[in-house]
Structure 1
């Protein structure tokens, strides 16, 4: 992720894929299935608010019972 992207409150699909260490296609599949963070369309692009991504990650962590047990 570039320095400019690191400061931006919005992430593109490509930025989010880099952040999650996955592919843009995987991010698109999560979005299509309703399993990814909430995003919105701006023209042809889908943008994700950084705080929505962080909230989505916190919810994923809280829902991972095996991860919860391992942390204890």
Structure 2
């Protein structure tokens, strides 16, 4: 099984995050994908804002589709999916 990575371009840097086979990202990878800090995602979740979060085994995950929908809603950088 190939690992799937998401890459984003900006004027300053290039990021790479791991997408699990079922399309989930960890909070850290989701934050990188959105260009925010993990603590920002945690605060949004507490306030009922931001992308939908799912809890699996005590850990929080974000579906890539939900992150893309959030980006479409609020605007922002869009990362392209590439297969490594």
Q: Does the pair score TM above 0.5?
A: yes
Higher strand share: 2
Q: Across the two proteins, how many residue pairs are aligned to each other?
A: 59
| Higher fraction of helix | 1
Larger Rg: 1
Q: Which residue of 2 aligns with 1:16?
A: 30
TM-score normalised according to structure 1 size: 0.70
**With CA pairs under 8 Å and 6+ residues apart, which has the higher RCO, 1 or 2?**
2
Structure 2 gaps, min length 5: 1-15, 76-84
Cα root mean square deviation, aligned: 1.6
Runs of 4+ in 1 over 4 A off after TM superposition: none
TM-score when normalising by structure 2: 0.61
Matching of residue 49 in structure 1 with residue 60 in structure 2 = no
Give unmatched runs, 5+ long, in structure 1.
62-72
